[in-house]
Amino acid sequence: MALNLADLFEHAADTFPDRIAVACGDQTVTYQQFDERSNKLAHHLAGLGVGLGDHVGLYARNSIEALEMIVACYKLRAMMININYRYLENELRYLLSEAELKAAVVDRQFAPRLASLLPDLPGIAGTVVIEDGSGADSGQGVRYEQVLAGQSGARDFGPRRSDDHYMLYTGGTTGQPKGVIWRHEDVWRTLGGGIDFVTGEPLADEWEQSRRGAAAPAGMVRLCTAPLIHGSTQWGALPALFGGDTVVFVPQFDPHEVWRRVQQYKVNVLLITGDAMGRPLIEALKQHDYDVSSLVSISSNAALFSPVVKEEYLAAIPGAVITDAIGASETGFTGLSFVSAGSARKEGPRVTPGPSTIVIDDDNRPVKPGQVGRLARGGYIPLGYYKDPVKTATLFAEVDGARYSVPGDLARLEEDGTITLLGRGNTCVNTGGEKVFPEEVEGALKRHPDIYDALVIGVPDERMGQRVAAVLQPRADRDLDLADLDRHMRAELSGYKVPRSYWLAEQIGRSPSGKPDYGWARRYADEHLAQGQPA
């Protein structure tokens, strides 16, 4: 039995050939068409020398072609390398050199930037260019549809294995991006539905997802708002394909476009990345009477989804259930919560832990209820970081004789066995010995009616070591009164958690998926401190 991502998709393609697999804009492809197109791309990549263990870069926004490329890599037992399309030249050069690409698939708009670096990257044997309407120079790249026209759609690849490798580069918001390597079976078990997210029960075999999909008259329709270059959308889309569902994309995030596609395709599950996408979406929904009656679930992960925004969704779409999931590139899924009206909490997310998820102290022992420690996951975990044995060694801990992945997220074990995620340890503010977790303060800030977005950091303080500070994005139509904001915060939080410095920004720095960019916030604060401009 090969628990391989390509095999899992092919089982679904054989079971639901005529179902719509993917939609983007007004374009759709069936499972059979998607399979044949990804086979053709795989044959082209194989002609460039791509095979077992090789790396192929995806430098593109969301599209049907981008998802076909991912599956094509797995058919060849190769690895897709996610490239952040917001990277500037130095960042891009670092990742391309680090990842050792054999080939790349790129949107036409990004082709010139990639072409300028190719002379320094002799290992890249060829590029395939996805048409995006930009009219940019494609350089030496071959057009995607031209590639498909010249290849066989036959599924004539050799057998694959459960221990073929999957790699995901981290976002790099707290340091240089790192490639996290997983075995296919392990990442499927943790993120791809190989263990039931609700019951914690492992699936029986590689056909179980397609069997379950066949038992329903039609699949669910799932719209992924974040970019495919991020793990949250990859693992929103791939399990959907394993079970015969339809994946809907928008090429880039636009709140009104998302709601138009919800209405057009009768989307059942909307996957978002916390407030960064949730807040503009709910405000767009208030501005226009879109038909969202098909929605049964709003699913958030990878960033803070604050209670005040959740309540707005529950009021606007009362028939939908809100789920809040936690996890990381180095752990996969670690917990899930279901939110209903009146149940949202100020801290969070507070979740029921997933399989083999625990909280440990600095001595690698499970904490007691009420204590804060590091979130850890055992069982199906990654192999480590690509080309970095030192960081790999620090990622893992032994707990009661078993190996756990411990990426640095801090959490509190509650009396009822649930876990409250507090944030990454390297973003925690230590002010006079008191630990302040940015996400809790950010949630309180965003409950103020004049604040649209916020990031909380620590800045140097002579007396306290660090003081809590915040970069704020006020609402465009409001005049923010900082004295009123301070009163609001002191009614929400203990005094030591209240920011003592504020800076205003036109827009908060975030990754394309909506994750907070604390490095940007620190640079923004440093610039203003250097200019003698504390709030």
Strand ranges, E, within 197-320: 221-224, 246-249, 269-272, 297-301
Angle, helices 31-47 vs 5-15, to 10°: value is 140
pLDDT, tens only, 200-221: 889 989 999 999 999 988 899 9
pLDDT, tens only, 287-312: 999 999 999 999 998 777 888 889 99
Per-residue pLDDT at 529: 74
Mean pLDDT calculated for residue range 19-45: 98
Q: Residue holding tokens 């904490």?
A: 367
Strand partners, 27: 24
Q: How far is CA 405 from CA 3, 333, 387, in A?
A: 21, 12, 17
Side chain identity, residue 31: Y
Token code pair at residue 92:
């891009």
Please determine, for residue 173, whether its predicted confidence score (pLDDT) is greater than 50. no
Strand partners, 83: none
Domains for the chain: give ranges and CATH numbers.
Answer: 5-200 (3.40.50.980), 347-424 (2.30.38.10), 429-530 (3.30.300.30)
Q: What are phi and psi of 238, to 5 degrees?
A: -65, -50
Given a contact cutoff of 8 angstroms between Cβ atoms, the answer to whether 191 and 200 are in contact is no
Q: Please enumerate in sequence order all residues whose Cβ is within 8 A of that of 163, keeping only pairs 6 or more positions apart, or say none.
A: 183, 184, 185
Distance CA 173, CA 510 (A): 9
pLDDT, tens only, 76-115: 999 999 999 988 888 899 899 999 999 999 999 999 999 9
Strand bridging mode 297-301 / 321-328: parallel
pLDDT, tens only, 414-430: 999 999 888 777 788 88
Distance CA 11, CA 101 (A): 29
Tell whether omega for the bond before 389 is within 30 degrees of 0, i.e. cis. no
